[in-house]
Amino acid sequence: MKVVLFCGGRGTRMRDGVTDLPKPMQPVGPRPLIWHVMRYYAFHGHKEFVLCLGYGAEHIKSFFLTYQETASNDFVLRDGRVEMLSTDISDWSISFVHTGTDSPIGERLRRVREHLDGEEMFLANYADVLTDAPLNEMVARFAASDAGASMMVVPPPGTFHCVELGEDGRVGGITPVTEMPLWINGGYFVLRREVFDQIPPGGDLVADACAAMAKEGRLLAYPYRGFWRPTDTVKERVALDEEYDRGERPWALWEERRIAGVATLPRAV
């Protein structure tokens, strides 16, 4: 299936005020966030990508047009020539489509509709969230349903506590937000083409299309309590970068396959 990546937003909370890199191009280890997301999909066999570009499009284009396989693959230098022992993107197909600098997510999706011709189902992602969720199981559940869209949902992150208040102001209990029966949008979507019928011009994927299908009982959720990490702020991205350097990168399923054979994927709840 083709993978649509929304990578055209400004990501103002992520930028450090020094560079103008868009959020998906912020580095985690030797590669940018968007590369890690794409490797996740490629690991599961989905290697046709449609990039919804906008702010900072030149950075994303330049990265792939001048891609250096040697940065993340083993190679042999013999007689001044490089012989790659493995590659990352040699079998990928990537469509670069400018979808507007300030377009909402739904509008960006509408503008790449023609690039999805012939696709009964396709995948979509914000290009800035990492996970080790079993994608093939997520797709299989959706394919077996009559839903028009599916989204991965995860417990809300953070260290906040929810407080139960009585009428007299006394506290009846305190519960970590991660233990509450609450779920948030995890940013990983499986969609059928009918989603385009639910997105008005200038509309949003979640607030418009997914909300409309939810009212019809045709939005499927895939709850997941495993590794899931957003990168909305510089602090979150830096934390990921530090974990990468320590070798703590559970989202990098392709590394598990290379080191220990085919990895055993975690299960959803």
**CATH number of the structural domain spanning residue 131:** 3.90.550.10
Residue 88 identity: D
pLDDT tens, 104-132?
999 999 999 999 999 999 999 999 999 99
- Region 243-258: mean pLDDT is 87
Enumerate the H helices of the chain as residue ranges. Answer: 33-43, 57-65, 105-110, 135-143, 211-215, 234-245, 253-260
Q: Do 211 and 217 contact (CB within 8 A), yes or no?
A: no
Residue 156 identity: P
Enumerate the H helices of 57-159 as residue ranges. Answer: 57-65, 105-110, 135-143
- Using the structure block, give the residue that is written with the tokens 């499009």: 57
pLDDT tens, 14-71?
445 556 788 899 999 989 999 999 999 999 999 999 999 999 999 999 999 999 888 8
In a domain, 168, yes or no: no
In Å, how far are 70, 91, 104, 160, 232 from 126, measured between CA atoms? 27, 22, 12, 25, 11
In a domain, 238, yes or no: yes
- What range does the domain containing 44 cover? 2-156+183-260
What pLDDT score does 16 carry? Answer: 52
The more confident residue out of 236 and 153 is: 153
In a domain, 175, yes or no: no
In a domain, 79, yes or no: yes
What pLDDT score does 177 carry? Answer: 83
Q: Do 53 and 96 contact (CB within 8 A), yes or no?
A: yes
What pLDDT score does 267 carry? Answer: 37
In a domain, 268, yes or no: no
What pLDDT score does 45 carry? Answer: 96
Q: Sorting pLDDT into bands at 50, 70 and 90, what band is 11?
A: low
In a domain, 21, yes or no: yes
Which structure tokens are listed for 138? 């997520």
CA-closest candidate to residue 149, choices 77, 206, 110: 206
Mean pLDDT of the residues in the chain = 90
β-pair partners for 75: 84
Domain count, the chain: 1
